A and B are shown apart, each in its own frame.
Chain A
Amino acid sequence: MSLLSIENIHTYYGNIHALKGVSLNVEKGEIVTLIGANGAGKTTTLRTISGLLKPREGKVTFNGEDLAKYKSHEVIYKGICMVPEGRGIFARLTVTENLEMGAYSRTDKTEIQNNMEKAFTIFPRLKERRTQVAGTLSGGEQQMLAMGRALMSNPNVLLLDEPSMGLAPVLVELIFDTIQDINKSGTTILLVEQNALMALGIASRGYVLQTGQIVLSDSAENLKKNPTVQKAYLGME
């Protein structure tokens, strides 16, 4: 049984049929990537998993449990946390307060403190800026904060929506290295990326989404070699 699986979900924005029967599954300990062009429905898929959107059809199961009965704020208690597209940090809260909000679902104060130390070890830059208001961080630092904040909930599965967006190549490297480290320490990862090459570089498997449907799914190795993928997402002719 997969840790996370979504079966045939249909998600709408009003009348707009954004996901037309998407199915995918993520095994414990994996990094799985979901790639696709702009507007394919990648963000919609993640928002559906995290409960911000309710699918009209199909279901999301986590650890064998149907998530349909949970409200969006209850999903994190199940062990799923999302780093939203554009980071979604609380700009007027300090770095520390943002991290504390990441731990909102938890109550053990010493555990939270340990987690914060851990986040600061992963992202030493955040420690330097702990009292700073988050809105004044650089783009890269904001991405670190968004990831650190998500880790504060000790998630089993981390959903990452375009973590490399708008970052300089060096920072992209750093973020991807960190994603691998986080994965090695036991967190399963579902990674949405425009940067397909980087994503397939660290993932074990991948899905390709096109206008609300999964058109391809294979191991990362094979996807990198697939001519359609190369043409459409890796910029190769």
Chain B
Amino acid sequence: MQSLKRFNWTDVFMWVVGAALLILTIIGSYLTLQQGKYTTVQWFDLAVFGLAQGSVYALIALGYTLVYGILRMINFAHGEIFMSGAYLGYFVATSMQRSGFMQENPLLGIALIFLTAMTTSAILAAILERIAYRPLRGAPRLVPLITAIGASFFLQYVFRGLFGTQNRAYPEIAYIQGAIPLFGNFQIQKIQLIVIIAAAVMMAALAFFVQYTKTGKAMRAVSEDKSVAALMGIDVDKIITRTFVIGAALAGAAGVLYCFMFRIVTFYMGFIPGLKAFTSAVLGGIGNPPGAMLGGLFLGIFESLGPTLFLDGLGIPAPYQLKDVIAFTMLVMILIFRPTGILGERLSKTKA
């Protein structure tokens, strides 16, 4: 459907930049592998770490994509929804750790952390939708976007005001520490395995829910046509609330998994993972849940392997510091060269 475009110097420039980056990546990777500084075991560890991190991104990304699919709106406060779940989960975790409950009933304890985090995030998202987004439905698209950014700051500063600016160390839950040996020198961190499996289970549950349940089908119907959905008796507002709640519960769970991996809690911890997850959602094609899952996993692995693989061979010191640069360069490149993402629709064209 693309018609012939006029010759355009900006396009040429962007293509040159894109090609240069691609060539640099290839040369860098080649040099790194040729130097052979890293063993297969190290690459494997990086890949597994990437997969775990990517699972967290994927879970958060689903929230962006579900809401976008149904409202054509980017909920930029979603990162803070993730943070709030993680934060309240942290309080439960520390108190259980202190009281010794965690050591005696680790499974129950972990379940309680998840329950707290998911409920917190879900309630907060439902309130946010009700008071900040619903009144603006039908307003120009820029309005809810700005509101979402405002809500994001609001939540950050509420948490900052309530709980302070310090970084809090997440308790070390003995039950999930340690590594599981595989074969040879290969092993896998228990935490990373748990993160990957938990995320996979939740994503499978979500896929089942959206595909086969009455509410899931109604969500898809509402995302296509709100007035016809209403004619069929679907309470559109209720379905939208449920969509926010589901996305938020996944973000809350992601918050717990993130804390298990990185063991730190702060009021601004939602910002970067939120942006990364947004990148994942765009990468997979926003509005498309399988795309968000793929995008998250891809970004996680890319970010974990990328710095070492692409940059080490070029002689750049401390390449791992540049992982965010790599991730966001990729976001910009996707937006320029493939705005539809891997599986999805164009970000700005639909219902603009």
Contact, CB under 8 Å: A104 / B225: no
Identify A97's interface contact among B217, B233, B234, CB under 8 A.
Answer: B217
**Which residues from chain A contact B214 at a C-beta distance below 8 Å?**
100, 104
**Which residues from chain A contact B228 at a C-beta distance below 8 Å?**
84, 88-90
Question: Please, which residue of chain A has its CB at the minimum distance from the CB of B231?
Answer: A82
Contact, CB under 8 Å: B229 / A101: yes
User: Complex formed: what's the CA distance from A130 to B81 in Å?
Assistant: 40
User: Whole-angstrom distance from the CB of B218 to the nearest CB of chain A?
Assistant: 7
Q: Mark A63-97, 1 if CB is under 8 A from B, else 0.
A: 00000000111111100011010001111110001
Contact, CB under 8 Å: A149 / B232: yes
Q: Is A102 an interface residue (CB 8 A)?
A: yes
Contact, CB under 8 Å: B231 / A72: yes
Identify A77's interface contact among B224, B229, B233, CB under 8 A.
Answer: B233
Contact, CB under 8 Å: B230 / A73: yes
Contact, CB under 8 Å: A72 / B230: yes
Q: Is A105 an interface residue (CB 8 A)?
A: yes
The interface size of chain A toward B, counting residues with CB under 8 Å, comes to 27
**Which residues from chain B contact A92 at a C-beta distance below 8 Å?**
220, 224
Identify B232's interface contact among A51, A91, A101, CB under 8 A.
Answer: A101
User: Whole-angstrom distance from the CB of B243 to the nearest CB of chain A?
Assistant: 16
Q: Is B235 an interface residue (CB 8 A)?
A: yes
Contact, CB under 8 Å: A93 / B224: yes
Q: Is A115 an interface residue (CB 8 A)?
A: no
Contact, CB under 8 Å: B225 / A101: no
Identify B224's interface contact among A50, A74, A82, A91, CB under 8 A.
Answer: A91
**Which residues from chain B contact A102 at a C-beta distance below 8 Å?**
232
Q: Is A174 an interface residue (CB 8 A)?
A: no
Question: Please, which residue of chain A has its CB at the minimum distance from the CB of B238?
Answer: A73
Contact, CB under 8 Å: A81 / B225: no
User: Complex formed: what's the CA distance from A9 to B225 in Å?
Assistant: 26
Question: Please, which residue of chain B has its CB at the minimum distance from the CB of A51?
Answer: B230
Contact, CB under 8 Å: A104 / B234: yes
Q: Is A156 an interface residue (CB 8 A)?
A: no
Contact, CB under 8 Å: A100 / B217: yes
Q: Mark B311-339, 1 if CB is under 8 A from A, else 0.
A: 00000000000000000000000000000
Contact, CB under 8 Å: A84 / B231: yes
User: Complex formed: what's the CA distance from A91 to B229 in Å?
Assistant: 12
Known: A93-B217, A97-B217. A104 touches B224 (CB 8 A): no
Q: Is B347 an interface residue (CB 8 A)?
A: no
Contact, CB under 8 Å: A90 / B225: yes
Q: Mark B221-247, 1 if CB is under 8 A from A, else 0.
A: 100110111111111100000000000
Known: A90-B221, A92-B220, A93-B224. A101 touches B234 (CB 8 A): yes
User: Whole-angstrom distance from the CB of A67 to the nearest CB of chain B?
Assistant: 14
**Which residues from chain A contact B231 at a C-beta distance below 8 Å?**
50, 52, 72-73, 75-76, 81-82, 84, 88
User: Complex formed: what's the CA distance from A76 to B228 in Å?
Assistant: 11
Q: Is A11 an interface residue (CB 8 A)?
A: no
User: Complex formed: what's the CA distance from A228 to B214 in Å?
Assistant: 50
User: Whole-angstrom distance from the CB of B232 to the nearest CB of chain A?
Assistant: 5
Question: Which residues of A (164-186) have their CB < 8 Å from a CB of B?
Answer: none
Q: Is A33 an interface residue (CB 8 A)?
A: no
Known: A100-B217, A101-B217, A104-B218. A90 touches B224 (CB 8 A): yes
User: Complex formed: what's the CA distance from A101 to B236 in Å?
Assistant: 13
Q: Is A142 an interface residue (CB 8 A)?
A: no
Q: Is A153 an interface residue (CB 8 A)?
A: yes
Contact, CB under 8 Å: B221 / A88: no
Q: Mark A203-223, 1 if CB is under 8 A from B, else 0.
A: 000000000000000000000
Contact, CB under 8 Å: A105 / B227: no
**Which residues from chain A contact B220 at a C-beta distance below 8 Å?**
90, 92-93, 97
Q: Which residues of B contact A (CB under 8 A)?
A: 214, 217-218, 220-221, 224-225, 227-236
Closest 7 CB pairs of A and B: A105-B233, A88-B228, A76-B233, A72-B230, A73-B230, A104-B233, A90-B224
Q: Which residues of A contact B (CB under 8 A)?
A: 50-52, 71-77, 81-82, 84, 88-93, 97, 100-102, 104-105, 149, 153
Known: A82-B231, A88-B228. 7 other contacts (CB 8 A): A74-B233, A88-B227, A90-B220, A101-B218, A101-B221, A105-B232, A153-B232
